[in-house]
Structure 1
Amino acid sequence: MEALRFTGSTKLLEYVNVPIPKVTQPNQVLIKVAFAGVCGTDLHIIAGEFPLSNKGTKILGHEFSGTIVEIGSEVQNVKVGDRVTVDPNEGCRCCDFCHSGNPHYCQIGGIHNTVGIHRDGGWATYTVVPTNLVQKLPDSITLEQGALAEPVSCLSHGFDMLSPVSVGSRILVIGAGIIGNLWISVLHHHGHRKVTVSEPNATRLNYVRKLETGFDLLTPQQLQKKRDADPSYAFEVVIDCSGFCPAVEQGLSLLTKGGKLCCFGIPPPDKTIKVAPFDLYAREITIFAVNVNPFSMVKSVGFIESMGSRYFDYERLGVQIFDLKNYQQALDLLKTGEIAKAMFRL
């Protein structure tokens, strides 16, 4: 089968042909992958900016959908032929974090054992995963849409952390890559209309226009000019989807008193921002971050099913499909911002 294999010690990503993996445990399933996405985390991994073991090789890809083609002897939740998406994260089920309902904090599991990062994932024709990570897709959701379930599950976790946010609140979304566009879509679906989007890339702003939300679209420079002209120009909520520290600092400065800053984008581990504790006190600012998707996959599928093709349309979201062998073109276009997301079709 075809696959994209990453070597941690050399940071080499290569297109290879490897044997189809086998179901070796009674609780495993073999999935014929249909669509597999490229996440910003994948770009950080390939660039050597994300903590990852240098031992051996891994098939990347933690966002994917497909069809069950084989099941282990103890699998009961799915059958051969079912269309599924996969939650790549699970805890050890033994530690205090797991027992308290926070498996994403687990030091053994969680983000330390993610499918497609620390074990073989979906950038391949076939992949084997534990059946407890599989989420069956309803007939109303396509395999294309199902491949977005993992990022939407992270967003749904962030949405829960952010809530409640009253309709009519002034909201700033920083960054119009796929995560920004998904936040824009979810906010619009939930009735929010006083939303501003900050994005320096004109191509990505055009993708936001295709979503037809009517939101205010600005570059970071235009955003700052508005603030300079009117010191009262501010937001109750800022959602950073860029992971770019200067953008996070700008968003923090634009919060009104009592405002919330949601740090959703992932920066390189060595980057920092400047925060004045007195300013947080004086304005009673809340800052929080979102770490993956604890128990959020069911809600993610619910979001996609209820929002439908009005929002989950590849062309509107800026998603472009590539053959796996054309991975370098996909990565290059993603890095330049010419597309919001790259999706491999297997």
Structure 2
Amino acid sequence: MEFLSLDPVSKKLSLDSCAIPKPKSNEILIRVAYSGICGTDLHILDGSFPAKNDGALTLGHEFSGTIEALGSEVTTFKIGEKVVVDPNSGCNKCNFCHGGSYHFCNNGGINNTIGIFRNGGWATHAIVPDTQVHLVPEGVELHQAALTEPLSCLAHGWDKINPVHVGDKVLVIGAGIIGLLWACLLHLHGLRKTVTISEPQPRRRLAAKKLDLGYEVNNPAEIKDANFDLAVDCSGSGPAMESAVPLLKRGGRLCVFGVAHPDATLTLSPFQIYMKELNIVGVNINPFTFPKALGLVRAMVDRYLNYERLGIRIYKLSDYNEALEALRMGEISKAVFKC
């Protein structure tokens, strides 16, 4: 098998090979088909996001594929089935897990994620616990299924900001891949002419317009309306979040969805938050929303999950440097490896 190996010290990637491993009794060997590069992966590569640091790591927490081998105790799957992987799990023992918030688990959650602390899907093959494997819905192609994990995070965000009513005025901040998927999600739920996408980069504004959702797509400097019910930040930019607060109506909400640098700070007016009764909601990784995400994939597949419209480009594993450079230069919204 081939895999991309991350050196924990130099943060450099290399394409390596080894024998295909055999799954343990409760594990599944997956022949990876498609594996996405997430913004979190870029943060790991530049050293600003925590990851395994006591040995080489294969990144990739967004991947789909087919089952190639089953552990002796796995009975709910069959060889050849199309699957996706939920990279997150909990210890099932702590208060967070028992309270339904395994993404906060100190032993599991983000501290044990496949592709961040365990070897992931930037490889031709991956071994994962059977409890973290889900069947791909009928009618969904494997390249589309590779978007299930980011959509599971959106599903968690949707749960946290609801209710969102048809007719609500919504501001989507940032038109990277996450902002584009949020725009699609809002459209799927019936929001039409009341959504505005804010994006400073002309190339990204063009990508948002290509989705043909009928939304306003503007440079942030052009947005003067201070009457939004909801703002969803997909940029991770502190100044962008700060500028959104005055644009919210009384009783408005700010959803902090984009991943900011750990040292980033916000300067907000406590009086404005008090006087307008604003709600600020943070959204982390998915807790138990993978089944919901699979429902979203099935509902969105025909209209929304078009790689060309979303600005997603497919690369071979061996072209990883080219893929990363295209992302960093803003030439594409997302890169996906065809493994």
Question: Taking structure 2 as the reference length, what is the TM-score of the superposition?
Answer: 0.98
* C-alpha distance in structure 1 between counterparts of 2:178 and 2:246, whole Å: 22
Q: Deviations over 1:56-109 (max 9, x none)?
A: 110000000000000001112211001000000000001011011110010000
Equivalence for 1:209: 209
CA contact under 8 A between 1:9 and 1:55: conserved in structure 2?
A: no
Q: Deviations over 1:137-173 (max 9, x none)?
A: 1221110111000000000010011110111111000
The runs of at least 4 aligned residues of structure 1 exceeding 3 Å deviation read: none
* C-alpha distance in structure 2 between counterparts of 1:4 and 1:257, whole Å: 49
Q: Deviations over 1:176-233 (max 9, x none)?
A: 111111100010111112000011122222221121111000112222xxx2xxxx53
Residue among 272, 288, 292 paired with 1:295: 288
* C-alpha distance in structure 2 between counterparts of 1:303 and 1:182, whole Å: 11
**AA paired with 2:324?**
L
CA contact under 8 A between 1:32 and 1:126: conserved in structure 2?
A: yes
* C-alpha distance in structure 1 between counterparts of 2:13 and 2:306, whole Å: 29
Equivalence for 1:242: 235
Residue among 253, 259, 266 paired with 1:260: 253
* C-alpha distance in structure 2 between counterparts of 1:136 and 1:18, whole Å: 27
* C-alpha distance in structure 1 between counterparts of 2:313 and 2:175, whole Å: 15
CA contact under 8 A between 2:88 and 2:112: conserved in structure 1?
A: yes
* C-alpha distance in structure 1 between counterparts of 2:119 and 2:152, whole Å: 20
Give SS of 1:294's match. Answer: coil
CA-based RMSD: 1.0
**AA paired with 1:125?**
T
Equivalence for 2:65: 66
CA contact under 8 A between 1:237 and 1:255: conserved in structure 2?
A: yes
**AA paired with 1:204?**
R
Residue 308 of structure 1: CA displacement? 2.1
Residue 53 of structure 1: CA displacement? 3.5
**AA paired with 2:126?**
T
CA contact under 8 A between 1:60 and 1:121: conserved in structure 2?
A: yes
Residue 297 of structure 1: CA displacement? 0.8
Q: Does 1:124 align with 2:123?
A: yes
**AA paired with 1:143?**
L
CA contact under 8 A between 2:52 and 2:118: conserved in structure 1?
A: no
* C-alpha distance in structure 1 between counterparts of 2:145 and 2:327, whole Å: 20
**AA paired with 1:280?**
I
**AA paired with 1:142?**
E
* C-alpha distance in structure 2 between counterparts of 1:304 and 1:54, whole Å: 33
Equivalence for 1:86: 85
Please list, as runs of the form range in 1=range in 2, the aligned pairs for 1:104-123 lying within 5 A after superposition: 104-123=103-122
Q: Report which stretch shifted further, 51-60 or 161-170.
A: 51-60
**AA paired with 2:159?**
D
* C-alpha distance in structure 2 between counterparts of 1:70 and 1:48, whole Å: 35
CA contact under 8 A between 1:36 and 1:345: conserved in structure 2?
A: yes
CA contact under 8 A between 1:85 and 1:134: conserved in structure 2?
A: yes
Q: Report which stretch shifted further, 212-221 or 116-125.
A: 212-221
Residue 320 of structure 1: CA displacement? 0.5
Equivalence for 2:19: 19
* C-alpha distance in structure 2 between counterparts of 1:30 and 1:270, whole Å: 38
Equivalence for 1:273: 266
Q: Does 1:335 align with 2:328?
A: yes
Residue among 268, 275, 283 paired with 1:282: 275
CA contact under 8 A between 2:90 and 2:105: conserved in structure 1?
A: yes
Equivalence for 2:303: 310
Residue among 312, 316, 322 paired with 1:319: 312
**AA paired with 1:172?**
L
Q: Deviations over 1:109-159 (max 9, x none)?
A: 000000000000000000000000001012211101110000000000100
Structure 1: tracts of 5 or more residues without a match: none
Q: Deviations over 1:304-333 (max 9, x none)?
A: 111222101101111100011111111111
Give SS of 2:66's match. Answer: strand
* C-alpha distance in structure 1 between counterparts of 2:52 and 2:79, whole Å: 34
Q: Does 1:6 align with 2:6?
A: yes
**AA paired with 2:280?**
I
Give SS of 2:67's match. Answer: strand
Give SS of 2:302's match. Answer: helix
* C-alpha distance in structure 2 between counterparts of 1:333 and 1:236, whole Å: 35
**AA paired with 1:35?**
Y
Please list, as runs of the form range in 1=range in 2, the aligned pairs for 1:76-225 lying within 5 A after superposition: 76-193=75-192, 194-223=194-223
Residue 35 of structure 1: CA displacement? 0.3
CA contact under 8 A between 1:322 and 1:330: conserved in structure 2?
A: yes
Structure 2: tracts of 5 or more residues without a match: none
Question: Taking structure 1 as the reference length, what is the TM-score of the superposition?
Answer: 0.96
Give SS of 1:315's match. Answer: helix
Residue 18 of structure 1: CA displacement? 2.7
